[in-house]
Structure 1
Amino acid sequence: MTYAKVFLNGQLVMEHKGGYTPFKADVSRYLKYGADNQLVVYVDSSERMEIPPFGYVVDYLTYGGIYREVWLEFTEQVIVENCHVRTRNVLNPEKLLDLDLYLTNFAQQASTVDLEFSVLNEEQTIHQFQETVALTGENNQRLNIQQAISGVELWDTENPNLYTLEVKIKDYGHVIDQASFRFGFRQVEFKTDGFFLNGNRLKIRGLNRHQSFPYVGYAMPKRAQQKDAEILKQELGLNTVRLSHYPQSDHFLDRCDELGLLVFNEIPGWQHIGEQGEWWDTTLQHVEEMICKDWNRPSIFIWGVRINESEDCDALYQETNRLAKSLDDTRPTGG
Structure 2
Amino acid sequence: MKQMAIVICNYNYERFIAEAIDSSLNQDYPGTRVIVIDDGSTDGSRAIIESYGSRISAVFKENGGQVSAYNLGLELADTEYVLFLDSDDVLYPGAVSEVMRMFESSDVAKVQFRLDVIDLEGKQTGAYVPHSVPPTDCGTLLMGGWLYPSPPASGNAYCVRALKKLFPVPETAVNRYGADFYAIYGVALVGPVAMVPRSLGAYRVHQRANESSVSFANSEQLTKAPKAFKARWATLRELARARLNRELPMSFHDFAHEKAYFCSNLYQAPLTTRWRWAINESYDYRYSIVANPFWSLKKKAGTLFLSSLCLLPYSPLSNYVVRYITNPLARRSAAVER
TM-score by length of 2: 0.24
TM-score by length of 1: 0.24
Structure (1 or 2) with the greater helix fraction: 2
Structure (1 or 2) with the greater strand fraction: 1
